[in-house]
């Protein structure tokens, strides 16, 4: 009987593969971006918004305190506290976020094109 050699199903690599380096073609005639009109960062909330949001957080904390202090199966823990939490999460905090949204108008920022086309 002659010995049969087993060939692997996938060729074994003995040397690490070297990928050819890619060179990007040089861009000629392209202008560099000039100074753009960038607005400084402005807080999206006014002081009034932040106060209403903090009031909502205080109402939420009050709801959890009422739930913690009252006995487990009492009306305070099962009815009053969830109503207080619902007011805080679903009414007061969203009002604080959306308050004054109608007054603000979005001014579009015109960015200069980098490809030279207006």
pTM for this prediction: 0.54
Which helix (H) or strand (E) segment holds residue 67: the answer is helix 47-69
Count how many Cα atoms sit within 13 Å of the Cα of residue 36 in the half-sphere of its side chain: 11
Q: CA quadruple 82, 88, 90, 92: dihedral positive or negative?
A: positive
Q: Say what the pLDDT of residue 19 is.
A: 64
Residues 50, 99: contact at Cβ < 8 Å? no
Q: Say what the pLDDT of residue 13 is.
A: 66
Q: Say what the pLDDT of residue 5 is.
A: 72
Torsion of CA 65, 69, 75, 77, to 10 degrees: 50
Pick out the chain residues at pLDDT < 70: 1-3, 6-8, 11-13, 15-35, 102-118
For residues 36 and 109, what is the distance between their CA atoms, to the nearest angstrom? Answer: 9
Q: Say what the pLDDT of residue 56 is.
A: 97
For residue 117, give the DSSP letter.
Answer: -
Q: Say what the pLDDT of residue 65 is.
A: 96
């Amino acid at each position: 009987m002659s010995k049969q050699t087993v060939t692997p199903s996938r060729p074994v690599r003995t040397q690490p593969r070297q990928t050819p380096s890619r060179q990007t073609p040089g861009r000629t005639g392209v202008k560099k971006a000039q100074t753009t009109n960038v607005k400084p960062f402005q807080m999206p909330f006014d002081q009034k918004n932040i106060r209403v949001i903090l009031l909502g957080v205080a109402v939420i904390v009050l709801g959890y305190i009422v739930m913690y202090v009252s006995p487990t199966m009492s009306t305070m823990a099962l009815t009053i506290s969830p109503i207080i939490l619902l007011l805080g999460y679903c009414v007061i905090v969203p009002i604080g976020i959306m308050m004054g949204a109608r007054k603000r108008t979005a001014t579009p920022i015109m960015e200069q094109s980098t490809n030279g086309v207006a």
